[in-house]
Amino acid sequence: MAVDIQQISEAFSGHRFAETYEHLAPDVRWFLLGHGAIEGKDAVVAACDSSAAEMAELGSVEFRRFDSVAGDRLAVIDAEARYESPDGSVSVVSSADIYEFNGAGLVTTITSYAVELET
């Protein structure tokens, strides 16, 4: 069965992290520009689980834009999301994620750019 790198990338950028874990290379590296890097599958999974737990506490998450493009070994997601806390505070984030895959269809590198916008 062929791996659909666009679907994997969309799941990760769409905060559906658990759907992507089996597609992460053991030595995957996630670069969060301005915040450093997370190296290794176990560390990336732990960061994703932590992020998912934080998002579960939110009142709502709405993607206002979610565009993707993919080739044989590269996918890019451009998104804008609105996050609302239970207390009503709102954060809007524009992000771009670049995914690199190896020949076996595993994610080897994720590079994430994110900027909080004025609401």
CA-to-CA distance for 83 and 85, rounded, in angstroms? Answer: 7
pLDDT tens track for 12-29: 999 999 999 999 999 999
Sign of the C-alpha dihedral, residues 3, 104, 13, 97? Answer: negative
- Taken in order of first residue, the domains within the chain and their CATH numbers are 5-117 (3.10.450.50)
pLDDT tens track for 62-118: 999 999 999 999 999 999 999 999 999 999 999 999 999 999 999 999 999 999 998
Q: Quick one: average pLDDT of 44-72?
A: 95
Specify the pLDDT at position 1: 45
Q: Do 100 and 73 form a contact (C-beta atoms < 8 A)?
A: yes
Specify the pLDDT at position 119: 75
CA-to-CA distance for 73 and 12, rounded, in angstroms? Answer: 16
Specify the pLDDT at position 2: 58
Q: Look at residues 106, 118, 104, 115 and name the one whose alpha carbon lies nearest to residue 12.
A: 106
